């Protein structure tokens, strides 16, 4: 009964304006409150160093449903560890701007006085998993996985080549977060939502002469990723010290076959679209501009579960009717952890094939690596 009363007493969401530091508003009233801050990725972000990449489409950013749980990490005020302090499912209209938001949960005075540690789970766009609601417990949330065809492989084809109707899955978790602040308003360290899957994309072009004609007759004949790279199961919530959390030892054995472009864009300077040290956002903008101008051809892309293994594969092609194969491999294990966006740019320069593989997180700044 106490659990139900906690749920019924949850207060409304309190949005925080984007574009600067969060403004801490003192709450009036005698009841102690716990403020939970949640950072929801914005559609356009820029940062120093390599920078952050905005999502290619609004669909990749959309959060149509958000769920938030707060549990005790330790016994407190007569309640056991794992006791639910509050559950919230705010209106999606409050999430469209991508701003950081604050959620206020009422607390019993005895709990607030003890300043216990809590576990916070945030889930956006819950995929087709067991029913998740106010009756879910930490063990059930920790056990949630993406598996089977969900952001995986069907036969030898990627299952998810578009954003699902419900949106890409987002998740964030913080464990053993100590309450802090001045009574009656207590706070926690912010929880950050990130996409639980990653994106792989191919882009192509070929060299043209001054008259706008192809220098060589070239074609892409196959695009293949090696098998035993995508795990059979990925945990939705990552509370580990690693950028990924997958069930080790079990991987999808089949390779991945991707469709090839029928034609390749003619480009007087195909090397000008290779990664050369731009910020991530500038490079994404460069690729988008090249596609708009018809100097690049957009190849296949798909959304896949994260992996702790390197992705590798081969691209088949012909130059002047002669077949060839180019192999590629990511530099480090974990380069395809969750919330990453990869661009494989392949271009034909006279009688040679060249390509660069660049990556960044959709939200966090990170490095780029090249392979050939």
pLDDT tens readout for residues 298-348: 999 999 999 999 999 999 999 988 999 988 888 788 889 999 888 889 999
**What DSSP state is assigned to residue 290?**
H
Strands 340-349, 197-207: pairing is parallel
CATH code for residues 197-361: 2.60.40.2630
- 10 pLDDT more than 50: no
3-class DSSP assignment, residue 349: strand
R_g (Cα) of the chain, nearest Å:
24
Q: How far is CA 350 from CA 134, 208, 218, 298, 307, in A?
A: 62, 9, 10, 21, 36
Structure tokens at 19: 């574009």
Please say whether the beta carbons of 25 and 99 come within 8 A: no
- The HSE-up count of residue 244 (CA atoms within 13 Å, CB side) is 24
Q: In the chain, what are the domain boundaries? A: 2-127+164-195, 197-361
Confidence (pLDDT) at 68: 94
The 10s digit of each residue's pLDDT in 277-293 is 777 778 888 998 999 99
Task: Report the DSSP beta bridge partners of residue 118.
Answer: 72, 177
- The CATH number of the structural domain formed by 2-127+164-195 is 2.60.40
Give the whole-angstrom CA distance, residue 209 versus residue 269: 10
Report d(CA 105, CA 70) in Å as an integer.
9
Average pLDDT of the chain is 82
Dig out the tokens for 159 from the structure.
């299952």
pLDDT in tens, 347-361: 998 777 887 777 666
| 122 touches 66 (CB < 8 A) | yes
pLDDT for 271 beyond 60 = yes
pLDDT in tens, 205-264: 999 999 999 999 999 999 999 999 999 999 999 999 999 999 988 999 999 999 999 999
Task: Name the 3-class secondary structure at 70.
Answer: strand
């Amino acid at each position: 009964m106490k659990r139900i009363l906690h749920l019924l007493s949850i207060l409304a969401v309190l949005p925080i304006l984007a574009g600067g530091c969060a403004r801490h508003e003192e709450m009036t009233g005698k009841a102690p409150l716990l403020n939970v801050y949640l950072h929801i990725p914005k559609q356009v972000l820029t940062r120093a160093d390599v920078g952050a990449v905005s999502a290619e489409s609004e669909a990749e950013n959309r959060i149509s449903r958000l769920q938030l749980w707060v549990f005790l990490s330790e016994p407190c005020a007569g309640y056991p560890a794992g006791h639910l302090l509050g559950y919230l499912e705010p209106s999606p209209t409050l999430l469209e701007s991508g701003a950081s938001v604050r959620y206020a949960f009422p607390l019993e005075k005895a709990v607030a006085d003890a300043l216990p540690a809590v576990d916070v789970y945030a889930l956006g766009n819950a995929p087709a998993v067991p029913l998740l609601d106010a009756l879910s417990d930490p063990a059930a949330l920790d056990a949630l996985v993406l598996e089977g065809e969900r952001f995986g492989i069907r036969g030898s084809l990627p299952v998810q080549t578009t954003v699902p109707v419900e949106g890409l899955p987002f998740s964030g978790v913080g464990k053993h977060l100590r309450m802090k602040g001045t009574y009656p308003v207590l706070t926690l360290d912010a929880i950050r939502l990130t996409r639980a899957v990653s994106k792989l994309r191919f882009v192509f072009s070929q060299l043209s002469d001054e008259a706008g004609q192809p220098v060589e007759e070239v074609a892409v004949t196959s695009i293949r990723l090696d098998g035993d790279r995508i795990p059979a199961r990925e945990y939705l919530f990552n509370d580990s010290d690693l950028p990924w959390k997958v069930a080790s030892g079990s991987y999808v054995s089949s390779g991945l076959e991707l469709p090839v472009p029928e034609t390749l864009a003619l480009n007087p300077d195909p090397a000008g679209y290779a990664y050369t040290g731009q910020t991530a956002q500038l490079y994404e903008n460069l690729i988008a501009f090249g596609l708009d101008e018809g100097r690049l051809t957009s190849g296949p892309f798909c959304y896949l579960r994260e992996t702790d293994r390197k992705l590798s594969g081969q691209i088949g092609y012909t130059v002047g009717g002669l077949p060839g194969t180019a192999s590629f491999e990511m530099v480090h294990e974990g380069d395809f952890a969750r919330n990453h966006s990869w661009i494989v740019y392949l271009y034909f320069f006279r009688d040679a094939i060249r390509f660069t593989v660049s990556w960044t997180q959709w939200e966090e700044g990170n490095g780029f690596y090249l392979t050939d």
